[in-house]
Amino acid sequence: MKKTISVPTITAFKNSPDRGKGLARDMRVRWALEEVEQPYNVQLVTFEELKQPSHLALQPFGQIPSYEEGDLVLFESGAIVFHIAEKHTGLLPSEAKARAHAIAWMFCALNTIEAPIVERSSFVLFEHDKSWYNERLPLLDERVHVRLKQLSSHLGNASWLDGAFSAGDLLMVTVLRRLGSSGLLNHYPNLCDYIARAEARPAYQRAFASQLAVFNDTLNS
Q: Exposure of 38 by Cβ count < 10 A (0-12 exposed, 13-18 middle, 19+ buried)?
A: middle
Among 19, 47, 52, 62, binds a second copy (CB under 8 A): 62
The residue (of 77 and 210) whose beta carbon lies closer to a second copy is: 77
**Cα–Cα dist 191/149, whole Å:** 10
Q: Could you give the CA distance from residue 220 to residue 51 in angstroms, rounded to a whole number?
A: 26
Could you say which of 14, 30, 55, 83 contacts a second copy (CB under 8 A)?
Answer: 83
CB of 16 to a second copy, least distance (A): 18
Q: Does 219 bind a second copy (CB under 8 A)?
A: no
- Out of 6, 15, 46, 111, point to the residue binding a second copy (CB under 8 A): 111
Residue 163, SS3 per DSSP: coil
Range in contact with a second copy (rule: CB under 8 A) among 26-34, 37-45, 101-109, 197-205: 101-109
Binding segment (CB under 8 A) for a second copy, from list 3-11, 59-67, 191-199, 202-210: 59-67
Sketch the per residue contact string, 121 through 160, with a second copy: x for CB under 8 A, - otherwise. Answer: ------x--xxx---x--x-------x--xx-xx------
- CB under 8 Å to 144, separation ≥6 — which residues? 116, 117, 120, 179, 184
Question: Is residue 176 within 8 Å of 185, Cβ to Cβ?
Answer: yes
The three-state secondary structure class of 6 is coil
